[in-house]
Amino acid sequence: MKIEISRGRVIDPALELDRVTSVYIAEGAIAGVGEPPREWRADRVIDAGGCIVCPGFVDLAARLREPGLEHKATLESELAAAAAGGVTGLACPPDTDPPLDEPGLVEMLKHRARVINLAHVYPVGALTLGLKGETLAEMSELAEAGCIAFSNADAAMPDTQMLYRATQYAATFGHRVWLRPQEPYLAHGGVAHDGEVATRLGLPGIPVFAETIALSTIFALVRETGVQMHLCRLSSAPGVAMVRAAKTDGLPITCDVDVHHLHLSDVDIGWFNPHANLMPPLRSTRDRDALRAGVADGTIDAICSDHSPVDDDGKQVPFGEAEPGATALELLLPLTLKWAREDEVPLIRALGALTSAPASIIGITTATLRKGNAADVCVFDPAHSWTIRPDALRSQGKNTPYLGLELQGRVRCTLLAGHVVHEM
């Protein structure tokens, strides 16, 4: 099958390419950009006039809810959502039921994803057994089964000795460790940013220094062990400043932010809107602005969706009892575009935070249109406006703070290894 994507504005951050041209795909791989291969005859031409053609997005945090939480979502529903969102590769956190702490579970997940074949799935293995923070998981076995990094997801790891040994062990074998910086005792019981809004609404707070104290612990462990560390979902202005300073000092760390935190703040909780119950909590507008600036200047490498399908039972309860999280695979692109438009960030730079940067954090080299690479491609219309309604989302999770609102930018077509996996 030979496919030609014609007349689109082709943007490839890895190749620093941004021009209107055609992309040629043959045998599932990129056969050329701009220049057609010799004796080219396309079986199919996709007219991308007015659209942007770029590598498929790579999402560093998307919960697929398998195994064990199929009442919230399944691989079928969420990988279809990924394809509809232009996401061709995603890392899934280990907080499934049971957690991804056994090679068999990881192999099954990888196998199911391959059969469904709508996006590449890169499991993040459990750092400790059952995410309990007590016993190391079999990292090398898990890596062999397909885990690309190790994390304790959102489960607390209060024992710093354990955290030290876990990073030290991971460093021994060159495994990557992904941590969300949050000091568990300071966060315990909290459901919102500890600030004016939480005080008004009487919601137990999580202070900013729960993040900064955890960051200084992690930085010390990175210096000591040399582990390859990725920081997940930064949430505060002081956190951004610390990461910026650490990177300037040459500390080998990378960092992401989830796309909601670039737009929303604790003010959006309004009168206890459970859709605004996210983890880490939505912080102040000052924190939000620092996160936006942090992505723009490269302090924060990647933007992730932190996709978390939650059913109505998890949200139709008082704010403090609500399950944190929002459906986001299909909102990742429009919300990233919104940020880029508002802050006048060049599109190639914004798309880098969705493609080349997260790909290098996972350790894959496919998120580019380089000749010979697997053709994981996204074609999107940046001007297309759509209203976020439950029936407009493929994900089984319909919970999002953006329900009922209009966003700009929608995926027209997604290709995975040269196959069209989504089209509208």
Partner 1 sequence: MTTRNPQLNRNGELTHLLTLEGLPAEVITHILDTAEPFVSIAEREVKKVPLLRGKAVFNLFFENSTRTRTTFEIAAKRLSADVINLNIGASSTAKGETLLDTVDNLCAMNADMFVVRHAQSGAPHLIAAHLDAMSRTHVHVVNAGDGRHAHPTQGLLDLYTIRHYKRDFRALTVAIVGDVLHSRVARSLIHGLTTMQTPRVRVIAPRTLIPTRVEALGVEVHTDMREGLRDCDVVVMLRLQSERMRGALLPSAGEYFKQYGLTLDKLALARRDAIVMHPGPMNRGVEIDSPVADGERSVILPQVTFGIAVRMAVLSIVASS
Active site residues: 306
Non-local (6+) Cβ contacts of 148 within 8 A are 91, 122, 123, 124, 176, 362, 363, 364
Verify binding: residue 323, partner 1, rule CB under 8 A. Answer: no
CA distances from 6 to 10, 22, 53, 352, 412 (A): 10, 4, 9, 22, 13
From the list 160, 172, 316, 365, which residue makes contact with partner 1 (rule: CB under 8 A)? 316
> Is 387 a residue that touches partner 1 (CB under 8 A)?
no
Q: Which region, judged by CB under 8 A, interacts with partner 1, from 83-91, 141-149, 273-281, 346-354?
A: 273-281
Query: Which of 199, 285, 385, 387 contacts partner 1 by CB under 8 A?
Result: 199
The residue among 111 and 389 lying less far from partner 1, judged by its C-beta, is 389
Four-residue CA torsion sign, 338, 340, 341, 342 = positive
CA distances from 25 to 22, 31, 66, 73, 256 (A): 10, 5, 33, 33, 31
Under the binding rule (CB under 8 A), the answer on residue 207 touching partner 1 is yes
- Candidates 195, 294, 397, 418; binder of partner 1 (CB under 8 A) is 195
Judged by CB under 8 A, which of 276, 310, 357, 413 binds partner 1?
276
Tokens of 208: 């900013």
Least separation, in Å, of the C-beta of 96 and partner 1? Answer: 23
Q: Does 35 bind partner 1 (CB under 8 A)?
A: no
Distance CA 302, CA 241 (A): 16
List the alpha helices (DSSP H) in 173-311: 184-187, 196-201, 209-225, 237-248, 285-296
Interaction of residue 286 with partner 1, rule CB under 8 A: no
Our finding on whether 201 is near partner 1 (CB under 8 A) is yes
Binding residue (CB under 8 A) for partner 1 from 134, 313, 406, 423? 313
> Which one-letter DSSP state was computed for residue 367?
S
Does residue number 317 form part of the binding site for partner 1 (CB under 8 A)?
A: yes
> At which residue do the structure tokens 């990233």 appear?
336
Closest CA to 122 of 163, 150, 158, 160: 150
Q: Which is nearer to partner 1, 123 or 401 (CB)?
A: 401
Query: Whose Cβ is closer to partner 1: residue 314's or residue 352's?
Result: 314
Binding-site member from 168, 217, 273, 360 for partner 1 (CB under 8 A) = 273
Considering only CA atoms, which of 346, 314, 315, 308 is closest in space to residue 329?
A: 308
Residue number with CB closer to partner 1 (184 or 320): 320
Nearest to partner 1 of 147, 206 (CB atom): 206
Binding window for partner 1 (CB under 8 A); candidates: 174-182, 296-304, 312-320, 323-331: 312-320
For position 310 contacting partner 1 by CB under 8 A, the verdict is: no
Site membership for partner 1, residue 280 (CB under 8 A): no
Residue with tokens 């030979």: 2
Instruction: Work out whether 268 is an interface residue with partner 1 (CB under 8 A).
Output: yes
What the block records as the tokens of 394 is: 């493929």
Q: Which two tokens stand for residue 118?
A: 């709508």
Residue 374, classed as helix, strand or coil, is strand
Alpha-carbon span 321 to 294, nearest angstrom: 32
Q: Which of residues 81-110 bind partner 1 (CB under 8 A)?
A: none
Is residue 270 part of the contact set for partner 1 (CB under 8 A)? yes
Q: Residues interacting with partner 1, by CB under 8 A?
A: 194-196, 198-205, 207, 268, 270-274, 276, 313, 316-321, 401
